[in-house]
Amino acid sequence: MESSKPTEISSSKMFEGFNRRYKHYSPTLGCSINFHIYFPPSTSPSQKFPVLYWLSGLSCTDENFIIKSGAQRVASTEGIALVVPDTSPSAGFYLNATVEKWKNWQMYDYVVKELPKLLNDNFSQLDTSQASISGHSMGGHGALTIYLKNLDKYKSVSAFAPIVNPVNCPWGQKAFTNYLGDDKSAWEEYDATCLISKFNDVAATILIDQGEDDKFLHENQLLPNKFDEACRNVEAPLLLRMQPGYDHSYYFIASFIDDHIRHHAQALNL
């Protein structure tokens, strides 16, 4: 059996820091999984960096964000470590599946519990008690729901084109039926628009960027207006920026990622 301790499988220098990729066996998921960490440049051996978790979208791996987003430039200057888990299983919606067939799909527990402990135990240069979370599409959904249910664990959240109301969109309905069964109340536990009414004691403004030319926006998969309305109802601070001409791709993410890194740096008091 593979070690649950992470083994480094690649390393590349970037903006004076390093992208390092690791593999480990996850007891939570019952399989081995990869993740990337971008370590910013260190000024002393005892320096500890806060962590920004990035949750990727459907069909992405831990590599897409590291290769395409350009987030390392500002992470390097702000002194934030980027932690990017794989999405394996690729369509897991960052929930804990309850249907027998998918019972190993426990990505919520992996992100919230197993991964931070793994980082804490194996990387002395990371300060996992100072953490924020972000993501794209399905990963934006993951970031928002995980943040709202764990306001004590994360200082801030942001998202690009997130699926904010999955109980009311085709992608969410299909995934939730598969993984959670037919009990709609169980679905609401993983829906940011439902959760914000319960968990609205938000310390930092929620930042969301959404491209206006995103085809999934027009197919009613993302529903940012529903989340905007729910935030207004409970006076939760949301900055929803509709970006004219942008689509759902990493070109869009790369265009605005600097703002997101700085948003988290501010919340992390850097």
Best CA proximity match to 92, nearest among 165, 29, 25, 169 = 29
Q: What percent of the chain has pLDDT over 90?
A: 89
Q: pLDDT band for position 90 (50/70/90)?
A: low
Buried b or exposed e, range 194-231, using 16+ CB within 10 angstroms: bbbeebbebebbbbbbbbeebebbeeebbbbebbbebb
Separation between Cα atoms, residue 83 and residue 148, nearest integer Å:
19
The more confident residue out of 270 and 198 is 198
What pLDDT is attached to residue 79? 97
Report yes or no: 214 and 161 within 8 Å, Cβ to Cβ: yes
At residue 88 the predicted structure's pLDDT band, cuts being 50, 70 and 90, is: low
Q: What is the pLDDT of residues 101-114, one digit of tens each?
A: 998 899 999 999 99
Are residues 74 and 258 in contact, defined by beta-carbon separation less than 8 angstroms? Answer: yes
Cα–Cα distance measured from residue 83 to residue 81, given in angstroms and rounded to the nearest whole number: 6
pTM: 0.96
Is the pLDDT score of 3 beyond 90?
Answer: no
pLDDT in tens, 140-171: 999 999 999 999 999 999 999 999 999 999 99
pLDDT of residue 61: 86
Task: Give the residue numbers marked as catalytic.
Answer: 137, 214, 248
